Amino acid sequence: MSTQTTEFVRAPNAFTDRVTADGSSGWPVEPGRYRLVVSKACPWASRGLISRRLLGLEDVLSVAVADPIQDERSWRFTLDPGDRDPVLGIRFLSEAYYKANPDYTGGISVPALVDIPSGKLVSNDYPQLTIDFATEWRAYHREGAPDLYPEHLRDEIDEVNDAVFTDVNNAVYQAGFAKRPSAYADAYHRLFARLDQLSERLERQRFLVGETITEADIRLFTTLVRFDAVYHNHFKCNRNKLTEMPVLWAYARDLYQQPGFYDTVDFDHIKRHYYGVHTNINPTGIVPLGPDLSGWDTPHGREQLGGRPFGDGTPPLRD
């Protein structure tokens, strides 16, 4: 999520270097070398938090959590003592961007992977980061970690991801930030047409691709978990609430109740960011008191469809 809000929220990423197992990229995978900067409000960054937790990378890849409220200077570390990230020593994420490229003039987005020794941003390529966590970082996965990007399913996962990105992940933003009725209507109709298709798919199978949780489920979940709290009202995606779409609601609860999902979600950060930062949409800055979140812990019944959430592996230990 960028600090420069536009109708089409995800511009091409300016920093696309990769951290690779063999170091051929110039950025080798090394425990403790990199810091993942996230906002718990941001669905694009939340993917990284979930993947990191499911794969057990916590001890080798540290995390910096930004304040959900940014200002014109970018994502800030005001949740930390002295308003500085204790590892990177910076007050604003923009400092890592400018250290990598002093002439950079684009948006400052999360997730951001920062090289700790140099303080330089390595990548803000949010789609590739989680793929790399599942593949390039494999040597440091915990014992029993799931395969979130199994090789024999990658083509299907990529196809599902492309559709979900265009018509769900990004469409909610295109609806919310639309400046023309026609642009809003296009995004709105694409969104709900795709949600209906996904509902039909998930009526027959527990997860989006294969028998286990994959990268595809993570990418859809981060939008669904924000739907009733933000997108339905704030972004005018209001044909239905998630709780009014039985299959998707049960599917989202199934994922939410797994370790690695519920423990990376922060509804307070989510609501304070969207309603507090998007003053062009919500000029009063009032954060709604609802919705009621107790339903997330209710039984979902999805076990009846079979499937094994973590395949031959195990869930991460509960906190």
Show which residues are catalytic: 42, 173
- Residue 11 DSSP one-character state: P
What's the rounded Cα separation, in Å, for the pair 193 and 200? 11
List alpha helices for the chain, DSSP H. 43-55, 94-100, 126-135, 154-164, 171-176, 181-204, 215-224, 246-256, 267-277
Ramachandran angles phi, psi of 196, nearest 5°: -65, -40
> Angle CA(44)–CA(133)–CA(8) in degrees, nearest 5?
20
| Interatomic CA distance for residues 123 and 19, integer angstroms | 9
The token pair that represents 24 in the structure block: 């051929």
251 token code pair: 């599917």
- Which residue has 């509960």 as its token pair? 318
Indicate the DSSP class of residue 231.
I
Contact 173, 11 (CB under 8 A): no
Q: Residues with Cβ < 8 Å from 82, sequence gap 6 or more? A: none
Amino acid of residue 254? D
